[in-house]
Structure 1
């Protein structure tokens, strides 16, 4: 088995391994995990990371090619310094982290929005800033923002409409958490939303609690149901190329 071991310090060896069928990859990793040699086991985690990152980069490359062939993104998207910086931020993040599917989907959409044929210099700048913000989010937080966007655009879950009974959306933070949980499909388990509320506030994506102590349980109302102007535009970029 030793002669078949992947050489992690050899780029060609890793790339050849990544081209193997997924069943073969799984068998190799399983074999390493059950082996007695400790140094072989230490390589398993690195191999799994390589498989995931390789898959993400391949997916990104295929979508870049597809959108370019469809005329949705600029042929010379790399000509802009800001687009170069945005792509660098995306690739750097993939090199350092392994994002979950939802976060990677959001980051790709932001990048593609910045290099779309209709994007001006201002939107290229926005994409760069939005991508830097996305790096501080989790996949669950992108789903929370997406649910908030859907409510703001009146694409509301029927269960929420039933509970509102024709009343306007309340500005209480507890109701916001509850309605977003329902919109996301979590039912009444709104603790999952509350867990991430503070970070979304800190990043300026949703409004903070009302400054007036009389309304401490409320959030500062916005035109987009708690999404700030920055947060709403972020969500547009995040969902444009889903």
Structure 2
């Protein structure tokens, strides 16, 4: 049974990497990636992290897509250059998350971008309920499980914070600067693909 499981994991990993290679080839053929980029330290480190993910973790499509998007955005050097350390840090963050955490984080990001956040809400549970609804998780308790992991990873802030006068306020823009920047970077992939 174990060898069948390993075989299926390797097959899935191979399929995911093949999909990445196809997108990489298209971008290179369109001149969106510099010929020498594949020899840069940034690319070698990022691709190593991806291959490590495919070999050691149980690869799932949700997390793999985030890794792929980070690498392909970095490779085009329009958002950041080849000397920027952020893409590598974003890859480490993506590898550390579960698929459900990715879902919660990007739902919170989408809620901000699409103005789905009701800033007049009172109480901490409204945010959980709104994310549960928009993420498809349905239960606020499921969101709360993943919320705590994202807080530990410094991608979300606590549900309440204090203003300068010490008054506790509900916070519906829950992304930290790092969380927002991470989501923005990954989301640039869609813009890059639309341009092609």
Same fold (TM over 0.5): yes
- The aligned length equals 187
Q: 2:129 aligns with which of 144, 153, 178?
A: 178
Which stretch has the larger CA shift, 84-93 or 63-72?
63-72
Among 142, 150, 154, the residue aligned to 2:102 = 142
Task: Indicate the structure whose relative CO is greater, using CA pairs within 8 Å and at least 6 residues apart.
Answer: 2
> What is aligned with 2:179?
231
CA distance 1:173–1:116, shift in 2 (3 Å): farther
Q: Residue 112 of structure 2 aligns with which residue? A: 152
Native 8 Å contact 1:71 1:117 kept in 2: no
1:195 aligns with 2:145: yes
Aligned counterpart, 1:48? 8
3-state secondary structure, aligned to 1:115:
helix
Tell whether the 8 Å contact from 2:74 to 2:82 is kept in structure 1 after alignment: no
Structure 1 residue matching 2:11: 3-state secondary structure? helix
Distance 1:210 1:123 in 2: 37
> In structure 2, the residue corresponding to 1:207 is in which secondary structure?
coil
Q: Say if 1:173 and 1:209, in contact at 8 Å, map to a contact too.
A: yes
Q: Structure 1 length normalisation: TM-score?
A: 0.68
Pair 209,237 (structure 1): closer, same or farther in 2 beyond 3 Å: same
Q: CA RMSD in A?
A: 2.5
User: Residues 77, 227 of structure 1: CA spacing in aligned structure 2 closer, same or farther, 3 A cutoff?
Assistant: same
Aligned to 1:75: 35
Give the conservation status (yes or no) of the 8 Å contact 1:67–1:73.
yes
Aligned positions of 1:124-135 closer than 5 A:
124-135=84-95
1:206, distance to aligned residue in structure 2 (A): 0.9
**Shift of the alpha carbon at 1:42?**
4.1
CA contact (8 A) 2:42 2:83 kept: no
